[in-house]
Amino acid sequence: DEDTCMVDVARFFLQFTADESCGKCTPCREGTYEMLELLDRIVDGNGTMEDIETLEKLARVISKTALCGLGQTAPNPVLSTLRYFRDEYEAHVKEKRCPAKSCKALIAYRIDPAKCTGCTACARACPTGAISGEVRKVHTIDQEKCIKCGSCFEVCRFDAVEKLDAVEVTANT
């Protein structure tokens, strides 16, 4: 659905295959880890368009040269997501945002002052003490302390906590 980042899905499956590789052949042993590093960079907002192209080329080489079925199919999630969801990869790279708002490095949480009732539920749920405010007064999130765990988002009964693109929050502060 719209809350699932396809770049992260590809990374999840590639992590599994990289962990399961027997290490016998170089394409699978080295190639999957190189692909994983590229996906990590993209998900962290540090990827480039060249990383996407390298990822695609590497995936094709690995699928053609690996010795076993695991290695030959390991790149499939990456190739499929690149084929059908390339726009999500490009959003991560060009716009430094995750369309699904699920990649921690590319999101931020903010409290909407118009909706906040000052119930303190978010502040009590925050494991790092990033949320401050008095009872029955508008609360705020210290972006430096926030670890983007989403606890505040989950407990807010008033929909006052918003999940935004990190660039949106940075631009507004």
Instruction: Report the distance separating Cα 59 and Cα 15, nearest Å.
Output: 14
Q: What's the confidence (pLDDT) of residue 22?
A: 87
Map out the domains of the chain with their CATH numbers.
Answer: 6-95 (1.20.1440.230), 105-172 (3.30.70.20)
Contact 67, 28 (CB under 8 A): yes
Query: pTM, whole model, 2 decimals?
Result: 0.86
pLDDT per residue of the chain (173 residues) written in tens, 0 to 9: 888 999 999 999 999 999 998 889 999 889 999 999 999 999 999 999 999 999 999 999 999 999 999 999 999 999 999 999 999 999 999 999 999 999 999 999 999 999 999 999 999 999 999 999 999 999 999 999 999 999 999 999 999 999 999 887 766 65
What local confidence, expressed as pLDDT, does residue 16 receive? Answer: 94
